[in-house]
Structure 1
Amino acid sequence: MRFLVTYFPFDWQNCTMVFSSYSYDSSEVSLQTALGPDEQKRQEVYIHEGTFIENGQWEIIHKPSRLIQPPADVRGGGEGQREEVTFYLIIRRKPLFYLVNVIAPCILITLLAIFVFYLPPDAGEKMGLSIFALLTLTVFLLLLADKVPETSLSVPIIIKYLMFTMVLVTFSVILSVVVLNLHHRSPHTHQMPIWVRQIFIHKLPPYLGLKRPKPERDLMPEPPPVALRDSPASGWGRGTDEYFIRKPPNDFLFPKPNRFQPELSAPDLRRFIDGPNRAVGLPPELREVVSSISYIARQLQEQEDHDALKEDWQFVAMVVDRLFLWTFIIFTSVGTLVIFLDASYHLPPADPFP
């Protein structure tokens, strides 16, 4: 009997048994099938219910029989021709064991591999979870190798699904490396191309359900303007009041970062004091204070630009992560449906003798 394992464990087999006499021809031995309760010749194998033991792995679908009688030869008298009785047992495998112990765990492990892309890169467990899923599938494949008949004529459908799942999990490991590489980039090591900014920051996030929060500076309310009066008793004099009235706004001291022109630095407050349009002159002590403030402003501006560009890379990694998440969900769903729907159409024939 040829054992077909293409649709294992959703397969069915046809076990054929042929009975004939090789010592006597049809002129000496005549084979006949038994008669049924209706005095008709039986066309199927009779199985006594008292002696039949149900198998936990196979179930009988059809059990037909066929009597093959050679045509009568008047001249030869039937010498040399033999009659045959063929019994067919069409049996189908019960796949419950493999569904519970192999396929269901593989689907759950695949879901773990998919949700690797939902795990934040800062958690530090992306690679560990991906490799764990890959090793688990490898162990399943090794355990299943002993359960599958050894043949090179075809690849069982359950092995196809395991290989498909293993390919997905392998790609999840590789793509997790890509996501972590994007997440940990900084302006000191990588410069973000314009097309990356346009695609992964401006265009893709709305389609993936992502929305970047606004900077805290844009959310802070503007303080109300305060008018300073001339107060001679304060000890500063009108010149100092005039200087503070003419002080630049917040955007002048800490301008909003322009990530497309990183060469722009914080303004130098000394030109505001010593320029041609200065209102008053300041004492040397205040000049040193303003110079120090200008230096601090430049350093804060550089740090803010650095943090903003680093956050851009982290947001790009988040977008790529979400893109891979939806891609893997689609591929896993479509691949699983295609593989197992193909097996669902492989059914035993309704009529064993069409």
Structure 2
Amino acid sequence: MSLCPLNHKVQLTYFSPNGAWDLMDTSVTSEAYSFVVRFNVVLERKPRFAIVNVILPLIIMSALNILVFLIPTECGERISFCLTVLLSIAAFLTLVGDNLPKNSNPMSLFRYYLVSVLVISVAITLAVICSLHVYHRSEKQQPGARGGPSLCV
């Protein structure tokens, strides 16, 4: 006794289309003299959803992060702008990270990209803080002066 499929394709009677995936092909196979029936479903991810909802906002926030260096140093909003962009990237990465697989081996390249964007944003924030510290030093606190540098901005 063995199982034999009636059709060579999966019946799509109760199939409903998905916004993130396309159904490309289906097949049904069985091995001779076996109780195993194999259902193969081939899906293809629609890239537009990920591009519009994840990648483009991340690229725009990264560009905003770089534009902090165009704000004049005399303006008091430079650090607040930089920290706001850093916090928005961190919040966005939290939302995106919840939708990624928790355990994957190897880790996806997209997750490495998300971490690198966060690290670059932190580095830009630290660079802005250091540049403002150096800019607002008084005449007595110039590099090489005795008494050591002050950590106050």
Q: Deviations over 1:177-236 (max 9, x none)?
A: 2221332345432157xxxxxxxxxxxxxxxxxxxxxxxxxxxxxxxxxxxxxxxxxxxx
Partner of 1:69: 32
For 2:35 and 2:88, locate their aligned partners in 1 and report how far apart those are by CA, in whole Å: 56
Instruction: Find out whether 1:60 has 2:23 as its counterpart.
Output: yes
Give distance in 2, aligned partners of 1:147 and 1:99. 15
- The 1:191/1:67 distance shift into structure 2, 3 A limit, reads closer
Q: Say whether the 8 Å CA contact 2:65–2:124 is kept in structure 1.
A: yes
Q: Which residue of the partner structure matches residue 123 of structure 1? A: 75
Mark the runs of 5 or more structure 1 residues left unpaired by the alignment: 1-28, 36-41, 71-81, 193-354
Task: Quote the residue 2:115 is aligned against.
Answer: 163
Task: Please state how far the C-alpha of 1:68 moved relative to its aligned partner.
Answer: 1.5
1:85 to 21, 28, 37: 37
Which of these residues, 148, 152, 173, is aligned with residue 125 of structure 2?
Answer: 173
Q: Aligned equivalents of 2:78 and 2:123: distance in 1?
A: 13
Secondary structure class of the residue paired with 1:65? strand
In structure 2, distance between residues paired with 1:65 and 1:46: 6
1:19-47 CA deviation, whole Å, 9 max, x = no partner? Answer: xxxxxxxxxx2333447xxxxxx4xx243
* Residue 141 (structure 1) aligned with residue 93 (structure 2): yes
Please list every run of at least 4 consecutive aligned residues from structure 1 whose deviation after the TM superposition is greater than 4 angstroms.
none
1:275-330 deviation per Cα after TM superposition (whole angstroms, max 9, x unaligned): xxxxxxxxxxxxxxxxxxxxxxxxxxxxxxxxxxxxxxxxxxxxxxxxxxxxxxxx
The Cα RMSD (Å) is 2.6
Q: Does 1:151 align with 2:103?
A: yes
Contact 2:3 2:35 in 1 (8 A): yes
Contact 1:67/1:85, CA 8 A, preserved across alignment = yes
Matches within 5 A, 1:145-294: 145-151=97-103, 153-191=105-143
Q: 1:31 matched to which residue of 2? A: 3
Amino acid at match of 2:81: L
Match of 1:66, as an amino acid?
A: T
Aligned 1:90-129 pairs, distance under 5 A: 90-129=42-81
Task: Give the TM-score of the pair, scaled to structure 1.
Answer: 0.36
Query: Shift of residue 65 of structure 1?
Result: 3.3
What runs of 5+ residues in structure 2 fail to find an aligned partner? 145-153
The offset of 1:93, in angstroms, is 2.9
SS in 2 for 1:169: helix
What is the aligned residue count?
144
* Separation in structure 1 between the aligned mates of residue 92 and residue 106 of structure 2, nearest angstrom: 20
**Which structure would you say has the larger Rg?**
1
Q: TM-score, normalised by structure 2?
A: 0.76
Counterpart pick for 1:47 among 11, 14, 17 = 11
- The CA distance in 2 between the partners of 1:181 and 1:146, in whole Å, is 37
Q: CA deviation at 1:128?
A: 1.0
Percent of aligned pairs sharing the same letter:
28
Report 1 or 2 for greater relative contact order, CA contacts < 8 Å, sequence distance ≥ 6. Answer: 1
Query: Following TM superposition, by how much is the alpha carbon of 1:51 offset from its aligned partner in structure 2, in angstroms?
Result: 4.5
Q: CA 1:32/1:184 → structure 2, altered by over 3 Å: closer, same or farther? A: same
